[in-house]
Structure 1
């Protein structure tokens, strides 16, 4: 049986803090409570990053928090961790992951929840009861007046067109991600290539980002390919093609200076180069008794 708190005992522990606005603002209503807790853990990690001087060339602080570390901290499976990370990155836009290359952990940029939204709307709202906002950041309640009336007037600083564009872009990204996860049997790929998880997630992100690109052309192997041609080729990829791409990475003996360009070219060319290369590799493994 746990005992009660007495007197000053209630103030002797350290806690993870999840911003109140995460639960009160409609902007975060589609984010699960588990993902919000993970965001609180990320905010806690920011202090460690500051002490370690983990800052990029633009002065932006990042954290390093591997999937295994998150699994141990929260006590859940890698599948759930990946779902929460996608929620924070794709649905809420509260983090941004940057791949460092094979064998290296992702850099995670934790976004400032106070600046999320259009025209910094969290900075301008009356949030005097949040307990976490610096006074000089916010416009005072007296200057803005009662926010119960502003929401339905022409003075509202929320741009519906910007909001619609942002939501549409997020929906498109989520739809492409769902398509590739299903068509490539991504869960099975993760099971079969447990040591290539970061690479597989990078390939998935590259496929989705490319298909969501608004550019007219994509540079692949030094040539500018029409975006529609690239999309069509990528959307015809199968699990075998991804297996083949991983084999190419493993057997490549030259230094890859630009991993993104290398993967783009390998993925784009996979449907035309897979047959002889892949079959030769399978035949070799069968002869050596691996199958």
Structure 2
């Protein structure tokens, strides 16, 4: 069997399972098997079906149904391996990227898919930092500097361009900071913010504001968010934002520049534009093409 070559932009025509890059770049996930990482991507994909079906518990958490048989079919493996892969991801026996709740009566387990972020520092490390920074210590010595060298060194690596927040805001803990960094890196890569800045069509300030808005929404603990005057479930808004790409960002900024009416609340305007972008971008550019071709034989 010979498969054809790609020409032009044909490589973009597929549908994809999204496996978070962080699973391959952070040391904490090194011990996960490749199959377990792929399974996590399959479980993430099933979240879209859950949102459509309204599978949300009383606490607002989205859950999915994905049977062992479905895993066997998707990964072409046996029952035993499917169970082992789930155990790798499970919070009880594995890394903690999923939680399973038994339903009984022959019903499949509810599966809660956890966010794929770098876990917070251990309590022992936090206590050590507090002791170093307490009033009993007259000055910060070399010992503390060495313990934190792994963090300061990273500022001079590939992460230096991505970490836009230099210091924590009041009330933010280390876990919240890591979650923000993970989301920021996700959107920087998926939406190609650095590429958009290099194009010089948009100011760095405008792009940074959009990036921070996306991160703020995805890190929010609220159950709903007001968009265009309506309260939207936060889980649905986050899911839609996670699907945005560079073309959607270009579209939002282009519409904002072309808007001639006074915008009273820019944040709400941008929220609505980002939320509606996947649904309106196609018709917008179709209308532009029809306008440009009007009167052409």
TM-score range, shorter chain: 0.3 to 0.5
* Higher helix residue share: 1
TM-score between both structures, scaled by the size of structure 1: 0.45
TM-score between both structures, scaled by the size of structure 2: 0.45
